[in-house]
Amino acid sequence: MQNDEKSSVRVEAVVGLYDYFSWSKGMVDVFVTQIEKDSSYMVISELIRGIAIADSTLGLSYSDKFKDSKNLDALFSVAEVYSVFGDKDDNAFFKELYPKVDGYEILSYIDYYKDYLLRIDNIKVQKEALNVFEKEAGNPLGWFVRYYAIGALTDLRSYYESKSKLYQKKGNEEISVKYTDLVKNVDEMLIRLKQSESDERVFMYDK
């Protein structure tokens, strides 16, 4: 990995190492040494993943370092790390990444952002995010993108519903009601989207 001139070979080496040896003692040090000197963003993007798999705290640190990168490969690796280990403050990253995503890359963005949101117990963050999914649920690029976004909204709705019940059980009626309001917001979105959708495949989640 360290000596091969071809970035594609270094990428394969990194993926092989974190797939099979991320638990090995000293492996994170190998990744860190490489990321500090590698010039290929393809390699760097995989190293960010490898570091996060081996050491989540260090993975977050390197994600923070590359979150302002102009390279989408690196940014999507950061998004993946934040989707698993990030906190509410990392919502700003997803908001800034959104306008940079083009074409079918939006599918990966939807996945990472949804997974991130399903971990974040914060009403403000959730409210800000819903508009993104509603917009993509009307994306003219193709029915599958809209289907994907509807699926994400459906998953988020289930999350809000479970959170509402949890807070009600804890006796926190105020937060419970706020999550119930989010459920209603999603329901209203889905009604609007279904009324304007001409391709029945988009709403296969209803069946």
Q: How much is the pLDDT for 5?
A: 63
Q: Please list the alpha-helical segments (H only) found in 21-122.
A: 27-35, 41-54, 56-66, 72-85, 91-97, 105-117
CA distance 138 to 149: 9
The per-residue pLDDT for range 6-35, each reduced to its tens digit, is 767 777 777 777 766 666 777 888 889 899
C-alpha to C-alpha distance for 85 and 176, rounded to whole angstroms = 25
Q: Do 66 and 44 contact (CB within 8 A), yes or no?
A: yes
pLDDT in tens, 152-185: 999 999 999 999 999 999 999 999 999 999 999 9
pTM over 0.95: no
Query: pLDDT-based confidence at 127, cuts 50/70/90?
Result: very high
**pLDDT greater than 80 at residue 2:** no
